[in-house]
Amino acid sequence: MSLGSSPTYTDEYVSPIRDQDEESGYASGSSSEASISGVFFTKPHLAFINRQLQFLEPQEVLRWCITTLPSLYQTTAFGLTGLVTLDMLAKLKVPRPQTVDLIFLDTLYHFPETLSLLDRVQSRYPLINVHTYKPAGVEDTDQFVHKYGDNLWESNDKLYDWVAKVEPAERAYRDLHVNAILTGRRRSQGGKRGDLDIIEITETGLIKINPLANWSFQRVQNYVRDNDVPYNELLDRGYKSVGDWHSTQPTKEGEDERAGRWKGQQKTECGIHNPRSKFAQYLKEQEAIERETALHSALHSRPPVR
């Protein structure tokens, strides 16, 4: 099932059966693909699922995901919560194990410690496949600067979020036919994450699961320590949430967990968890500006009429 047919929700019931004249009148896993529509969640059904999962431990949520959701992946920048999820998945006992591959967005501006952690994770969990996606058309920071200029995150942070994170994520979802992703978001991280559900559905139909939504930072830390999970060395230097080096600082005593991200800015998310429509509108505005600039340049480059 491609991203275009990903599950979504509706206020009304939608029958899952098509072309009943050609089949038995019922849909099953052996039915032809043409006879089965996309999977739909009604809002009451989604609310019911969230109420049920709310009381489960993360391992039980992950077991539900693996046995329920096809084309399931984990997106991670190897923060603590993502590492705990990875370790839980590796230890999960299910009758027919399904490998949950990782999607890593290499913005080209990660800390060296983060990239070193990636090597340690692959050594510790050799059965895990990691799909790395970089900004389109560039392989390193020199190429990125050549294409977008110096410090794009300062001159145009929305464009930076799009080219370094949002577009690569969307490309990964298309390439890998992703229907559902596991995230490392938790309510205790504050900001817009304070009222997270376990299961969310984006406006494009992508299912997002936040298996550790109920856990505190301390509980995550305890799991990492008790299970000897590899983690980013920066956490021993005062960092709690680690992103790109240019937008991440250590947190002070008493500050929120993500206070070191985009310090001094009215910003709490990098873009991949914001509504797609926000960036669609932004890109539309950018295209209008570029057309106006091109028109202005063309008008002023014409030779004078004699």
Distance of CA 91 to the CA centre of its chain: 23
CB burial string 180-205: b at 16+ within 10 A, e below: bbbbbbbbbbeeebeebbbbbbeeeb
111, 246 contact by CB (below 8 A) = no
The reply to whether 270 belongs to the active site is yes
Identify the active-site residue in 46, 164, 270, 272: 270
201, 47 contact by CB (below 8 A) = no
Q: How far apart are CA 289 and CA 293, in angstroms?
A: 6
Q: Which amino acid is at 248?
A: T
DSSP secondary structure code for residue 261 in this structure: B
| Element holding 290 (H helix, E strand) | helix 276-301
- Return the active site residues: 270
